Chain A
Amino acid sequence: AQSVTQLGSHVSVSEGALVLLRCNYSSSVPPYLFWYVQYPNQGLQLLLKYTTGATLVKGINGFEAEFKKSETSFHLTKPSAHMSDAAEYFCAVSKGYQKVTFGIGTKLQVIP
């Protein structure tokens, strides 16, 4: 079965600093990979996704992620953190038909 591991349940960065949220996946076949963001008391919003093709994926709000098959990783980055980026971030994996598995989430804190 596919799964994802998010390293670090809490990450703190200074405003303007690089954001790096780590995600490693486990899948017996090439997976579909996603990053979602959840603001307090809200649903999840899709940030970006990898399906096939280009391994560097650009998403909304200046985020991007790189699919590295050799490292089974799909880390999320943003060059410069903004206060509005403070939220919970979920990495997710799917092998296809309908079923998506979410990681435990990483809470991002942005320090002014």
Chain B
Amino acid sequence: DTEVTQTPKHLVMGMTNKKSLKCEQHMGHRAMYWYKQKAKKPPELMFVYSYEKLSINESVPSRFSPECPNSSLLNLHLHALQPEDSALYLCASSQESLSQAGYTFGSGTRLTVV
């Protein structure tokens, strides 16, 4: 299995809703990432997990809450989002401490906040 699977593919949520994005990989990668990509922009790093521990938080607002229940799963919990949070949310994984190997990306979740 050489894929990163993200669910759901599309999500529409109101500003008072609570929702979660899910990411799963079975490649034995020990680093997992959340990226946010706005239209016509490059991906921007949000969080990095290494060996299931949060190692990087790029000053992301607390309305985004990451969770890594085990080495294969990564969640992003969403609460009280704003319309400007609408974007493509990408999950990626890599061999831990070996960013030179490159990332494997999922297809993303297209989030719309209304």
Contact = CB atoms under 8 A, between A and B. Distances in A.
Contact of A102 (B6, B31, B43, B100): B43
Contacts, number: 63
A42 B107 contact: yes
Interface string B81-114: 0000000101010100101111111111010000
Q: How large is the interface on B (under 10, 10 to 19, 20 to 34, 35 or more residues)?
A: 20 to 34
Contacts of A32: 99-100
B99 A98 contact: yes
What bracket does the count of chain A residues touching chain B fall in? 20 to 34
Contacts of B110: 41
Given A98-B55, A102-B43, A105-B42, A46 B107 contact: no
Interface in A45-60: 45-46, 49, 51
Contacts of A102: 42-43
B42 A43 contact: no
B101 to A, nearest CB: 8
A83 interface: no
A42 B9 CA distance: 10
A42 B37 CA distance: 11
Contacts of A42: 107-108
Interface in A78-102: 90, 94, 96-100, 102
B100 A45 contact: no
B74 interface: no
